[in-house]
């Protein structure tokens, strides 16, 4: 049996912190989430950022993540980031605790790139992690990190311009990881991060379509545990007692003990957290710390299983509401609950998330915003698509007996299942708003469950004006719950009115945040409070949205 590691703090530079982190590119990718997790999870002594480059990088289009077996993933985000100048402004606006260590991950195609990013972010960082290991971004990461001479040059240049600790993040996909680690340490690195993802590999669905838009991606999660342990042991055998941040497949205290016995002193837990909301992650790390103190192994039981599988279906009907707006029915019946959403995947094009307008049959309202939605709206009856989900945190109980559903534009689609689900137990009032009559839909279906009020900007149907004006006309008592779905400006205007009527926890809103993975890993859907809407929402109370 492995010896027990206690949750004692370790010293990195001038700071003494707990030895746990979430690896780069997972969950803490937005500034708001960095602040939230640094504040709310005591056991996370190190907060690692997404990888930041000298200029903005859009990354790959979705799908960017897929679970190919339980607990194991393949991903190709494509080093998506806002660039170092924009990221510096984001860090400027958060309160980062003094007792935590901010490890900023850095990328570049040259020595000059790395130095530029580090110079720009120097004042915010406690330390830097050099991404010399991403396996699927051409010209970056692993293509640089497999050359010991180039690694030496980059680390030497970086350590000559910063007094902060520098970790070199290495790939398991090289001939001799220990040789690369030795080059980094000889150049002045403080420590080594091992490992990044394994691969790249291609994963196809049952019909032979490559799932990732990039086709190939790096493997992470449960299956990478032996690769991480082997890499850490090889580095330790060659270099002895050096600071190593070990990661790859960690799910439990037992896994951390295995990494410790291989030579790691710091530990990263990432893909294992898929599907967990913030409260569940807080509980997980608390239990993990107790396991490390008590030589137990309970934390792994708090992890969950996500379903990212695809179901093939066909288009059965399409209603052309407007040139840029369609309602599409599919040959698929889902058992969806209020607030859940799905992804539509067109192989070779992209995938996007959508509210479920109706679940029997699956019906979606598609507003064209880009290439993917335009391609979906171009589908004809009989065309094949792939669906994954439902995802999201369902809402099946609401204590207040009067529900006011407020939808704007395509946001109307997120409300019908609420009306259908709660019609027998609650009074339903629905407010629908859009720019014109062609973008108001399902009003007859909503009327089956209660009163419906409509506003259009051009007055072509209902009241001329905005849906907020309809709200002002209702005589509501305090025993009411609001469910809002639509664009952010509309929801902010609604909340200003609704908060005068009822308390914040009775105002639930779904805003169209960027949602890429749907299982909480990429962190792209974090709101201003750092809450990831794909696992905690998409309907969030005003109370949860406040900073």
- Which amino acids are annotated catalytic? 134
Q: Which of 428, 377, 441, 363 is nearest to 400 (CA)?
A: 428
Question: Regarding beta strands 341-346 and 266-268, do their DSSP bridges make them parallel or antiparallel, or are they unpaired?
Answer: unpaired
Residue 293 φ then ψ, to 5°: -75, -40
Asked whether the beta carbons of 47 and 37 are under 8 A apart, the reply is: yes
3-state class percentages of the chain: helix first, strand second, coil last, to nearest 5: 30, 30, 40
Whether omega for the bond prior to residue 306 falls within 30 degrees of 0, making it cis, is no
Q: What is the largest CA-CA distance in the chain?
A: 75
CB contact burial 233-244 (16+ within 10 A = b; e otherwise): bbbbeebeebbb
To the nearest 10 degrees (0 to 180), the angle between helices 111-121 and 84-92 is 20
Q: Are the beta carbons of 284 and 256 closer than 8 angstroms?
A: no
Least Cα distance to 350 among 199, 209, 510, 208 occurs for: 209
Cα 153 to Cα 512: distance, rounded to the nearest angstrom: 44
Residue spans of beta strands (DSSP E) within 156-286: 165-170, 191-194, 198-202, 216-221, 244-247, 266-268
CB atoms under 10 Å from CB of 63, counted, come to 27
Q: How far is Cα 165 from Cα 153, in angstroms, rounded to an integer?
A: 17
Structure tokens at 326: 């369609």
Q: Other CB atoms closer than 10 Å to residue 496's CB: what's the count?
A: 10
Cβ partners under 8 Å of residue 163, min gap 6: none
Residue pair 438/432 in contact by the 8 Å Cβ criterion: no
Can you name the residues that pair with 322 across neighbouring β-strands?
325
Residue 276 structure tokens: 């967990």
* Cβ proximity of 505 and 481 under 8 Å: no
Separation of alpha carbons 183 and 171, rounded Å: 14
Look at residues 513, 476, 486, 479 and name the one whose alpha carbon lies nearest to residue 409: 486
Q: Edge-to-edge, what's the strand order for the sheet holding 325-330?
A: 350-355, 341-346, 384-391, 311-322, 325-330, 362-367, 358-359
> What is the DSSP-derived secondary structure letter of residue 487?
-
């Amino acid at each position: 049996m492995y010896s027990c590691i206690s949750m004692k703090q370790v010293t990195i530079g001038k700071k003494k912190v707990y030895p746990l982190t979430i690896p780069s590119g997972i969950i803490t990718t937005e500034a708001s989430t960095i602040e939230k997790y640094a504040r709310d999870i005591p056991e996370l002594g190190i907060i690692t950022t997404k990888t930041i480059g000298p200029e903005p990088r859009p990354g790959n289009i979705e799908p960017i993540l897929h679970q190919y077996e339980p607990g194991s993933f393949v991903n190709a985000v494509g080093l998506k980031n806002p660039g170092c100048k924009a990221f510096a402004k984001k860090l400027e606006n958060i309160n980062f605790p003094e007792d935590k260590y901010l490890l900023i991950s850095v990328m570049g195609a040259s020595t000059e790139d790395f130095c530029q990013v580090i110079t720009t972010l120097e004042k915010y960082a406690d330390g830097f992690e050099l991404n010399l290991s991403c396996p699927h971004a051409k010209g970056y990461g692993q293509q640089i990190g497999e050359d010991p001479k180039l690694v030496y040059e980059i680390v030497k240049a970086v350590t000559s311009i910063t007094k902060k600790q520098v970790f070199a993040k290495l790939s398991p996909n090289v001939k001799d990881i220990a040789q690369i680690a030795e080059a980094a340490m000889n150049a002045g690195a403080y420590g080594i991060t091992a490992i990044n993802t394994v691969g790249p590999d291609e994963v196809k669905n049952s019909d032979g379509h490559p799932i990732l838009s990039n086709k190939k991606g790096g493997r992470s999660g449960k299956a990478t545990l032996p690769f991480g342990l082997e890499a850490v042991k090889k580095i330790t055998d060659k270099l002895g007692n050096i600071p190593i941040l070990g990661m790859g497949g960690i799910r439990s205290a037992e896994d951390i003990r295995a990494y410790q016995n291989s030579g790691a002193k710091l530990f990263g837990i990432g893909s294992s957290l898929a599907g967990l909301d913030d409260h569940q992650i807080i509980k997980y790390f608390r239990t993990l710390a107790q396991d490390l103190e008590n030589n137990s192994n309970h934390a792994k039981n708090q992890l969950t299983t996500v379903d990212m599988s695809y179901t093939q279906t066909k288009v059965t009907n399409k209603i052309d509401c407007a040139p840029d707006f369609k309602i599409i029915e599919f040959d698929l019946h889902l058992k969806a609950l209020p607030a859940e959403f799905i992804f539509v995947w067109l192989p070779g094009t992209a995938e996007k998330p959508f509210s479920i307008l109706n679940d029997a049959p699956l019906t979606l309202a598609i507003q064209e915003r880009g290439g993917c939605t335009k391609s979906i709206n171009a589908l004809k009856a009989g065309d094949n698509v792939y669906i994954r989900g439902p995802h999201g945190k369902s809402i099946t109980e609401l204590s207040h007996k009067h529900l006011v559903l407020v939808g704007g534009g395509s946001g109307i689609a997120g409300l019908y299942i609420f009306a259908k689900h709660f019609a027998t137990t609650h009074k339903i009032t629905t407010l629908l708003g859009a720019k014109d009559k062609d973008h108001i839909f399902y009003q007859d279906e909503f009327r089956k469950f209660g009163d419906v009020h409509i506003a259009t900007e051009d007055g072509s149907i209902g009241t001329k004006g905005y849906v907020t004006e309809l709200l002002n006309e209702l005589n509501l008592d305090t025993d009411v719950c609001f469910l809002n779905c639509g664009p952010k400006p509309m929801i902010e205007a609604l909340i200003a009115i609704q908060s005068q009527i009822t308390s914040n926890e009775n105002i639930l809103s779904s805003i169209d945040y960027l949602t890429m993975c749907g299982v909480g890993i990429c962190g792209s859907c974090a709101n201003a409070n750092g809450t990831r809407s794909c696992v905690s929402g998409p309907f969030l109370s005003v109370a949860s949205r406040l900073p």
